[in-house]
A and B are shown apart, each in its own frame.
Chain A
Amino acid sequence: MTWRGSSLLVAGLLLAGTLTACGGGAQSASTAFDANNCQGGTLDVLNQDDAASHLDPARLYTSGGGNIPSLLFRTLTTRTRKAGADGAKVAPDLATDTGEPNADATVWTYHLRDGLKFEDGTAITAQDVKYGIERGFAAELPGGAPYLHDWLVGAQNYPGPYKDPNGIAAIETPDAKTIVFHLNSPHGDFPYLATATQFAPVPKAQDKGADYEKHPISSGPYKIESYDKGKSMVLVRNTNWSRAVDPNRLACPDRIEATYGLDPAVINQRLTTGTGKDGDAVTTDTDLGPSELAQLDNNPDLAKRVAKGGFPYTYYIAFDNTKAPFNDIRVRQALSYAIDRTSVVNAAGGSSLAYPATTFLPDNKNMGYQAFDFFPAGKNGDPAKAKQLLAEAGFSNGITITLAHRSADFNQDGPKVATAVQDAFQKAGITVKLQSIDSDSYTTTVSNPATQPQASVEGWGADWPSGGPFIIPIFDGRQYLAGGGNFNTAHFNDPKVNADIDAINKITDPDQAAQRWGQVDSEIMKQAPLVPLFHTTQLRLYGKNVKNAFVSDWTGVYDLSQVSVK
């Protein structure tokens, strides 16, 4: 039996099982969710992997998007815990506001709230926040986002507090409640960055370096009762936290028990069936599997319990615009016309998991999404138009290109999508030779201009829901890094776009900035520097007793700080 055959069989078995199981007892009528009366119960988390490869605020990458870390680590700012577009905004967390900028957004000042305490009852100070940030610079604690290295004045080579206890001069703490950041250039997005776990306070006296992750000191609504890395974790209430000092997190369950190392099919099956404690269960790393997707249309009870959202993400075909044949805009346009987005979306898992992309920005209001389609390829591509453009460019016999893809399909940049692209391009006279690159070294190979393939299937996700981190690394000509770690694989460099980026970085009003990012997106995409393929959607199941599992446009998944099992 082939692997595919056996997984289909498994899916079939599970499907049959669920239908039988759901034919049984009627669901009890649940009472409506009430934030003021939601406390109690134990929430179970069923996961394939540990919620964090390193549960250390210095080492977590995702900006507060991590579901469990956000229950332990409060940061200067955080995301508003709301559904949809409202949930993609910044809210004050430890700080009293989202930050006071100076006139050109190079100096940001924050004041801490009153009454903030760590789990052991000691007060949280601005110095603790500063120390937490400095830890992120230590080579012993790698993994955090690079922005602070690049943005803080003179911090590029700071080796971390273990080697240089004097700290970073660009972060001032004039008193226990005030912290001031000096940036080397304007960054209107700084309040978004301040949601990252690097902005969580760490008490210096309790820092154990790499061992800190075994029991990080909580500033959030829960603290660790036990943690067995890769196996399980139990969180209990942090009695030194209250809603009075934290307007964002509801923290309904009294206790959270996480189990790691489970099979994805088993996780989805347990959430679907919901026997016993599994009715109070959620997952933070497993999306719907094939057997649940197949029954969504016929099983309204199950469909009701699926949280649908989208972490802002775009998949695209990248190629170096300065190299032939892509240095001719007609060739780039031809590629855009030739693409069959229906087949590509199907290859990515179908319309419930992906939607076609004609813009670079995903359909996310806060990122400045504006709808446009400069090279309308329709549902299935326009090979005639593509051929015509190629002929105009002098390639009336078509062209041959090499398209690299990841060797495995676990991301959506694997062989399935690459093959769909190959088929569509064939109709337009573009012969595609596929090049499979080992999954583990794919990003390193593609992001190094010395080893970059002629064309490649790539994906980009936002570190926070603003146009900045989405557009700058990919299209800012000054971010082309010839030595590696380069994400401007298009080698795009337009002085007007660069100037626009600098201007928008000075804007501190998110709505105004979003408006401008949308315009920049359209300005860039007119030049067809890459072929956008699709944006992704996530579908995630939760247990039948779980309430208030809504999805924000920031994380694309439900938020454990808001759910209730009472």
Chain B
Amino acid sequence: MLGYAVRRVSGAVAVLLIMSAVVYVLFFLMPANPAQLVCGIKACTPDRLALISHSLGLDEPLYLQYWHFLVGLFAGRDYSTGPSIVHCAAPCLGYSFQYTEPVLQIIGERLPVSGSLVIGAAILWLSLGIGIGVLSALRRGRWLDHVVNAIVLGGLAVPIFITGLMALMIVCVWLQWMPFPTWVPFDEDPVLWAQNLVLPWIVLALTTMPVYVRMSRAGMLETLAEDHIRTARAYGLPERQVIGRHALRGALSPLITLAALDIAGILTSSVLTETVFGLPGLGQMTVQAVRNVDLPVVVGLVLLIGFVIVVCNTIADLLYAAVDKRVSVQ
């Protein structure tokens, strides 16, 4: 188990370092120049551009910039804001001259927003998706199954910015049940927090759910046809126990990996949901950072995305073992 953990962690660290290096190289290949961007379109003479490049540390060769980044990661770095020096403590992911704050701090401010979004949505889509999927498998071929199939197909086909805008239209404009949602932090007012997140949760769950419905339906049908279920039934176990204890376990294991990836993805890059519902989360920040050629923030976000995916995958592997006893962590 310890050996497994060590292998797993060192593999993850290597992957993250390679990712950060790739992002650095990609940024240097891009046509846009961050110094040009802050210098302004009309205002920039070549002399001034050189001065600004120097103050941003962009005049250094690529390998040196990356080296400074690595040093900062383990030992921290200092940045000049003009009259004073700002220290970015280790692990320093860099300092954004756009936000004038250390990258880790900026990400920390946005993470609760994306976290709130994904938690509620995940609870909804997992419970509804699996519930409906299983139900429709048990009612295979009946009207409920057909209705579910149709809805699922519809949900798969409509992109989230349409579902999102439609939901806003119906709830906030036609029915006027609530004002347009805004972001309220949980520690400020938990009730308002939830109220404002209900719509994005539902919309996100509706667009993510269909795959879960389909997979749990298919998995359930497959498991129900297997020998051990027949055996269990032959032994006279009650149907509820056959389904709950024996069939569900086999049917659910593939969903765990999928859920891990979906949660990681939505946590870090649900750009459309965040802009439609006015949630200042990580997805929105990614788009802004790429537009502003804010390399430190982009590298920080890439590392975060990588980290979250690695963590979610590890959790998925552990859960997999817990759900399906045939798999053991070795």
Among the stretches A260-268, A390-398, A502-510, the one at the interface with B is A260-268
* B169 interfacial contact with A, CB 8 Å: yes
B86 CB → nearest A CB, Å: 8
A213 engages B100 (CB within 8 Å) = yes
Interchain Cβ contacts under 8 Å between A and B, 7 examples: A13-B169, A208-B82, A208-B84, A211-B81, A266-B165, A275-B179, A277-B179
| Binary interface encoding of chain A residues 271-306 relative to chain B, with 1 for a CB under 8 A from any of its CBs, else 0 | 001011110000000000000000000000000000
- Given A140-B80, A484-B46, CB of A263 within 8 Å of CB of B40: no
Q: Which of A9, A21, A162, A444 contacts B174 (CB 8 A)?
A: A21
- Given A21-B174, A207-B83, CB of A146 within 8 Å of CB of B166: no
- For chain A residues 246-271, which have a beta carbon within 8 Å of chain B? 259-263, 265-266, 269-270
Q: Which of B86, B174, B179, B292 contacts A278 (CB 8 A)?
A: B179
Which chain A residue has the least Cβ–Cβ distance from B30?
A: A440
B169 engages A14 (CB within 8 Å) = yes
Q: Please indicate the chain A residues that have their CB under 8 angstroms from the CB of B30 in the complex.
A: 440
CA distance A473 to B162 in the complex (A): 45
* B278 interfacial contact with A, CB 8 Å: yes
A21 engages B173 (CB within 8 Å) = yes
Q: Please indicate the chain B residues that have their CB under 8 angstroms from the CB of A476 in the complex.
A: none
- For chain A residues 229-259, which have a beta carbon within 8 Å of chain B? 229-232, 259
* B43 interfacial contact with A, CB 8 Å: yes
B38 engages A275 (CB within 8 Å) = no
- For chain B residues 9-55, which have a beta carbon within 8 Å of chain A? 30-33, 35-36, 38-46, 48, 51-52, 54-55
* B63 interfacial contact with A, CB 8 Å: no
A-side interface residues toward B, CB under 8 Å? 1, 6, 9-10, 13-14, 17-18, 20-21, 49, 53, 61, 138-146, 149, 159-160, 162, 207-211, 213-214, 228-232, 259-263, 265-266, 269-270, 273, 275-278, 438, 440-441, 443-444, 463, 473, 481, 483-485, 487
B87 CB → nearest A CB, Å: 13
- Given A142-B48, A143-B39, A261-B274, CB of A273 within 8 Å of CB of B173: yes
B162 engages A10 (CB within 8 Å) = yes
A140 CB → nearest B CB, Å: 4
A245 CB → nearest B CB, Å: 29
B222 CB → nearest A CB, Å: 32
Q: Please indicate the chain B residues that have their CB under 8 angstroms from the CB of A149 in the complex.
A: 48
Which chain B residue has the least Cβ–Cβ distance from A7?
A: B161
Which chain A residue has the least Cβ–Cβ distance from B285?
A: A230
- Given A210-B100, A261-B280, A443-B41, CB of A278 within 8 Å of CB of B180: yes
B82 engages A210 (CB within 8 Å) = yes
CA distance A308 to B15 in the complex (A): 53
CA distance A273 to B84 in the complex (A): 48
* B182 interfacial contact with A, CB 8 Å: yes
Extra A-B contacts (4), CB below 8 Å, given A142-B43, A444-B36: A140-B82, A146-B42, A162-B82, A278-B179
| Binary interface encoding of chain B residues 145-181 relative to chain A, with 1 for a CB under 8 A from any of its CBs, else 0 | 0000000000000010110011011001110100110
- Given A262-B275, A265-B165, A278-B179, CB of A143 within 8 Å of CB of B38: yes
A230 engages B292 (CB within 8 Å) = no
CA distance A210 to B83 in the complex (A): 9
CA distance A484 to B46 in the complex (A): 7
CA distance A141 to B288 in the complex (A): 20
**List of 9 A-B pairs having minimum Cβ-Cβ separation, nearest first:** A209-B82, A440-B32, A441-B31, A210-B81, A209-B81, A140-B82, A231-B280, A139-B51, A139-B55
* B65 interfacial contact with A, CB 8 Å: no
Which chain B residue has the least Cβ–Cβ distance from A210?
A: B81
* B114 interfacial contact with A, CB 8 Å: no
CA distance A266 to B161 in the complex (A): 11
A260 engages B40 (CB within 8 Å) = no
B-side interface residues toward A, CB under 8 Å? 30-33, 35-36, 38-46, 48, 51-52, 54-55, 80-84, 86, 97-100, 109, 159, 161-162, 165-166, 168-169, 172-174, 176, 179-180, 182-183, 274-276, 278-280, 284-285, 288, 292-293
Which chain A residue has the least Cβ–Cβ distance from B41?
A: A443
Q: Which of B165, B182, B288 contacts A259 (CB 8 A)?
A: B182
A302 CB → nearest B CB, Å: 14
Q: Please indicate the chain A residues that have their CB under 8 angstroms from the CB of B32 in the complex.
A: 438, 440-441
Residue among B35, B81, B82 having the largest count of chain A Cβ atoms under 10 Å: B82
Q: Please indicate the chain A residues that have their CB under 8 angstroms from the CB of B288 in the complex.
A: 49, 230
Q: Which of A10, A210, A270, A276 contacts B161 (CB 8 A)?
A: A10
Q: Please indicate the chain B residues that have their CB under 8 angstroms from the CB of A483 in the complex.
A: 46
Q: Please indicate the chain A residues that have their CB under 8 angstroms from the CB of B55 in the complex.
A: 139-140
CA distance A469 to B36 in the complex (A): 21
A230 engages B99 (CB within 8 Å) = yes
A347 CB → nearest B CB, Å: 23
Which chain B residue has the least Cβ–Cβ distance from A461?
A: B42
A17 engages B173 (CB within 8 Å) = yes
B40 engages A269 (CB within 8 Å) = no
A143 engages B172 (CB within 8 Å) = no
A209 engages B84 (CB within 8 Å) = yes
- Given A10-B162, A230-B99, CB of A275 within 8 Å of CB of B81: no
A217 CB → nearest B CB, Å: 15
A53 CB → nearest B CB, Å: 7
Which chain B residue has the least Cβ–Cβ distance from A487?
A: B42
Q: Please indicate the chain A residues that have their CB under 8 angstroms from the CB of B80 in the complex.
A: 140, 209
Q: Please indicate the chain B residues that have their CB under 8 angstroms from the CB of A229 in the complex.
A: 99
A138 engages B82 (CB within 8 Å) = yes
Which chain A residue has the least Cβ–Cβ distance from B276?
A: A263
Which chain A residue has the least Cβ–Cβ distance from B287?
A: A261
B43 engages A214 (CB within 8 Å) = no
Residue among B32, B41, B52, B97 having the largest count of chain A Cβ atoms under 10 Å: B41
A17 engages B174 (CB within 8 Å) = yes
Residue among A18, A263, A269, A277 having the largest count of chain B Cβ atoms under 10 Å: A263
A212 CB → nearest B CB, Å: 8
Which chain A residue has the least Cβ–Cβ distance from B289?
A: A230
Which chain A residue has the least Cβ–Cβ distance from B51?
A: A139
Q: Please indicate the chain B residues that have their CB under 8 angstroms from the CB of A214 in the complex.
A: 100
Which chain A residue has the least Cβ–Cβ distance from B180?
A: A270
B40 engages A61 (CB within 8 Å) = yes
B38 engages A142 (CB within 8 Å) = yes
Q: Please indicate the chain B residues that have their CB under 8 angstroms from the CB of A141 in the complex.
A: 82
CA distance A228 to B48 in the complex (A): 30
Which chain A residue has the least Cβ–Cβ distance from B165?
A: A10
CA distance A29 to B275 in the complex (A): 35
CA distance A18 to B183 in the complex (A): 24
CA distance A6 to B164 in the complex (A): 13
Q: Please indicate the chain B residues that have their CB under 8 angstroms from the CB of A260 in the complex.
A: 280
Q: Which of B38, B84, B168 contacts A266 (CB 8 A)?
A: B168
Q: Which of A17, A49, A142 contacts B52 (CB 8 A)?
A: A142
B230 CB → nearest A CB, Å: 45
A13 engages B52 (CB within 8 Å) = no
B140 CB → nearest A CB, Å: 31
Q: Please indicate the chain B residues that have their CB under 8 angstroms from the CB of A159 in the complex.
A: 51
A14 engages B165 (CB within 8 Å) = yes
B157 CB → nearest A CB, Å: 9
